[in-house]
Amino acid sequence: MASLSFDLSDKCAMVTGGTSGIGLAIAGALLDAGAKVAVGSRKPEKVAAALEALGEGRPEGSVLSAQLDVGDRASVDSGFAQAAEQFGKLDILVNCAGVNLKKPTIDVEEDEHRFVMDVNYFGPFYASQVFAKQCIKQGAPDGDGGGYSIVNVCSVTSFLALSEVTTYAASKGALLALTRQLAVEWTRAHGIRVNAIAPGFVPADQNRQILKSGDRGRRILECTPMERFGTPEEIAGAVAFLCSPAARFINGECINVDGGFMIHGVSDATPNDQE
């Protein structure tokens, strides 16, 4: 039997939040696997910088940037239409755009809560709808090529409770539930596999201060068997795999990419904690 491929040649992808951090690394990984990639962000300066960075040394036309605000349905419609028109089709959607909020839950304002939910949950919901309609328009996918694929970027907080990030955790828990629901409904109806990843702790603009504040970063590392934070590129590899033909029988799953944080229980104290 022939082995299944990790090659994404002839695939076209949209990566929301693809202009920085994990999203930028995901876009790069998909490009390295042979896909054409559109990256979306609501900030024009980030869009321009990402286009320059991702396009360097790559074939002309392989990277498209689009100003796209996932919290605005009209912006989502416009960005996806632009990508589909330029590439001629879309095969892959990675919902990576996200925001965080660290604040005592009792002090969270309604508009703050709604904003986080708009970006982290409703944004992927809207984007998935638009993507699915484009797939339906294109017709049945090539089954040997892994079919159409959506990958949602969830979080360890989709499973575990952490202090003072209730709104963020609620949005990522909802995104995991959405992943499973769509995997049941859309794979049968439209040939779209839907999976997710749950990144561990990767220092980035939105969480760097949280990881460095107080004792939290040290305690996270103590509960991570690999004893370090992750990198965007390490997260991106899991996404590229899930989008590839090699993962064509994986559906409705969430892969933890966290250095073992999720499986950690009680262990011996580290030497620094011993008297």
pLDDT digits (tens, 9 = 90+) for 217-257: 888 899 999 999 999 999 999 999 999 999 999 999 999 99
Homologous superfamily of domain range 12-254: NAD(P)-binding Rossmann-like Domain (3.40.50.720)
Q: What are the structural domain ranges in the chain?
A: 12-254
Residue type, 231: T
46 Cα distance to chain centroid? 17
What is the chain's pLDDT, residue by residue, as a tens digit (275 residues)? 456 799 999 999 999 999 999 999 999 999 999 999 999 988 889 899 999 999 999 999 999 998 899 999 999 999 999 999 999 999 999 999 999 998 999 999 999 999 999 999 999 999 999 999 999 999 988 766 679 999 999 999 999 998 899 999 999 999 999 999 999 999 999 999 999 999 999 988 766 776 766 677 888 899 999 999 999 999 999 999 999 999 999 999 999 999 999 998 776 655 555 44
- Residues in Cβ contact with 243 at an 8 Å cutoff, skipping those fewer than 6 apart: 8, 11, 13, 30, 33, 35, 92, 94, 146, 149, 151
Catalytic-residue membership of 126: no
Of the listed 121, 126, 148, 168, which one is catalytic? Answer: 168
Q: Which two tokens stand for residue 214?
A: 């107080």
Q: Is the pTM of this model over 0.85?
A: yes
